[in-house]
Structures are given as C-alpha cells and as structure tokens.
Structure 1
C-alpha cells in the first residue's frame, strides 16, 4: 500500500498515511479539525542503469 504525505494549510501539521489507491484522500486535519489538508508531492529517486552515464565509462 502506498504512503501519502499530507500537510494542513491551517495549522501546518505534517503527517503520513498508508492508503489504498481506491481510498478517498484525507481532507480533515487530525490535529486542528479544519478541512485545509492537501497532499504533498515529492520527487522519487533516480537510478541510472547501463553504461554511458559516467565520465569513466568507455564509449565502445
């Protein structure tokens, strides 16, 4: 199950929840009770595989 990061615009509370893809997004802050919550998106990791990505690779 994916983990989602949320932040409340009202109080600034950050929290994460494990949710299924079919679950509705969380809209109410568990700390202040306001409906000012939004998902926080971040960049995933990058993996370079194969040759040609580094200076030390030889061009064959």
Structure 2
C-alpha cells in the first residue's frame, strides 16, 4: 500500500498515512484538528536489470537502427 503525506494548513504538521488507493483522504490534523492537504512526493521507483530502457537508451550509438524509407 502507498504511503501518503498530508500537511496541516494551520499548524504545518506533516503526517504520513499508509492507505489503500481507494481509502478516503485524511481531512483533519491529529495535532490541532486543522484541515489537511495531500502533499505530492517523489516515488521510490527504480528499474533494474536489462530491458528497453537500458538497451535502447543507454548510449547514442546503441540499439537497432532503422531506415527512414518505406
């Protein structure tokens, strides 16, 4: 399940919540009961191993070459 971050618009407290994507968002701060807004964070996404992203884009001269004609 993803970890969502929320920031209180009144006190600035940041909360993390492990939620399903279908769960409703948190709305109130645990510290002051102020309204929360969802923060946009970077993901921990990392591609490993071989594949098109490393084979075709690793260097300018790598990959298969195609002709421009039909």
> TM-score, normalized by length of structure 1?
0.73
**Distance of 1:19 and 1:3 partners within structure 2:** 6
Question: Structure 1 unaligned runs (5+)?
Answer: 53-57
Larger strand fraction of residues: 1
Question: Structure 2 unaligned runs (5+)?
Answer: 48-52, 63-70
Please say which structure displays the higher CA radius of gyration: 2
* Greater than 4 Å deviation, 4+ residue runs: 45-48
Larger helix fraction of residues: 2
> TM-score, normalized by length of structure 2?
0.64
Matched pairs, number: 54
Relative contact order: is structure 1 or structure 2 higher (C-alpha 8 Å, sep ≥ 6)? Answer: 1
